[in-house]
Amino acid sequence: MVSTDVEAPAKKIPAGSGFSHRIIPCLDVADGRTVKGVKFTSLRDVGDPVELAIRYQEQGADELMFLDISASVQGRKTMLDVVRQVARELSIPFSVGGGISQIEDVMRLLEAGADKVSVNTAAVKRPELIREIADACGSQCCVLAIDARRRTEPTQNQYTEWAVLTHGGRQDSGLEAFAWGEEAVKLGAGEILLTSWDQDGTRAGFDLELTRRFASGLPVPVIASGGADGPKSFIDVFTSGCADAALAASIFHDGHWTVGDLKEEIAKSGVSIRL
């Protein structure tokens, strides 16, 4: 059921809490190479995942996200050999998603060097997977990835609704995104990776309404994804969007910004960021 209270309170970070927003480069990997597209299509090769992982760590990334974007579509498991190669080079937290359908897949990824796992399609098909991961590894290990496409526009009495997409953005699950997020948190998801399908790869800025809905309405950290551009887009998503972290790909892969330069500009605005 859609709430009638449109104005949700913004998430508040206590003064002096030491909270710093995170910048997370994303490696979308297909067939062993890092790729990037627009709205999950027109993928282009942007480099070797191991080389990029090393580069972004050296630039000051807080975490790294590795998503095997073709695993669910092709019905196979995540590429463990590439995960191992990346993990060997990293000292920062490393999350891995794609092709995870059972707890044994999670254990293999953790043994290969992942710190957290991200689930999407398999969790929609079988929500109990979230509880299994949380029970076995802790909620902090379980990231729920939600690929959300705008379904309705807001009205005076109703929130906007977003559809949950699965299989790399190819299929509409029929679920409403925020309701699915609420259910997943109750099952044990410790973090939400929230990607706007409408903004993905456009460099038009994050979907602030979408991010704010989740960040202000759920008791777990929210990573904003889709539409990252320059420093202003990050400042906006950390303030107006209430996000805990922001993920980006194109602006780093194409050399528009380094992680370090981006952080310095964000810090000038007064937003807490780890330099």
Query: How far from chain centre, in Å, is Cα 47?
Result: 20
Q: How far apart are CA 22 and CA 263, in angstroms?
A: 9
Q: How far apart are CA 142 and CA 135, in angstroms?
A: 10
Task: Give residue 189's pLDDT.
Answer: 98
Q: What single string gives the DSSP state of each residue in 66-104?
A: EEETTHHHHT----HHHHHHHHHT--S-EEEESS--SHH
User: Catalytic: 172?
Assistant: no
Query: How far from chain centre, in Å, is Cα 174?
Result: 21
The reply to whether CATH 3.30.540.10 applies to domain 22-268 is no
Q: How far apart are CA 251 and CA 71, in angstroms?
A: 24
CA angle, residues 123, 137, 68, in degrees to nearest 5: 50
pLDDT in tens, 57-94: 999 999 999 988 665 555 555 678 889 999 999 999 99
SS3 172: strand
Task: Give residue 65's pLDDT.
Answer: 95
Measure CA of the first residue to CA of the last residue in the chain; give whole Å: 42
What is the amino acid identity at position 71?
Answer: A
Q: Which among 144, 238, 251 is positioned nearest to 191, based on CA atoms?
A: 144
What is the amino acid identity at position 170?
Answer: R
pLDDT in tens, 200-233: 888 999 999 999 999 999 999 999 999 999 999 9
Task: Give residue 4's pLDDT.
Answer: 32
Per the CB < 8 A criterion, the answer to whether 206 and 236 are in contact is yes
As a whole-number percent, the residues of the chain with pLDDT over 90 amount to: 71
Q: How far apart are CA 78 and CA 49, in angstroms?
A: 14
Q: How far apart are CA 68 and CA 95, in angstroms?
A: 11
Catalytic residue (choose from 68, 105, 147, 229): 147
User: Catalytic: 147?
Assistant: yes
pLDDT confidence tier of residue 155, bands split at 50, 70 and 90: low
Residue with tokens 């999950």: 40
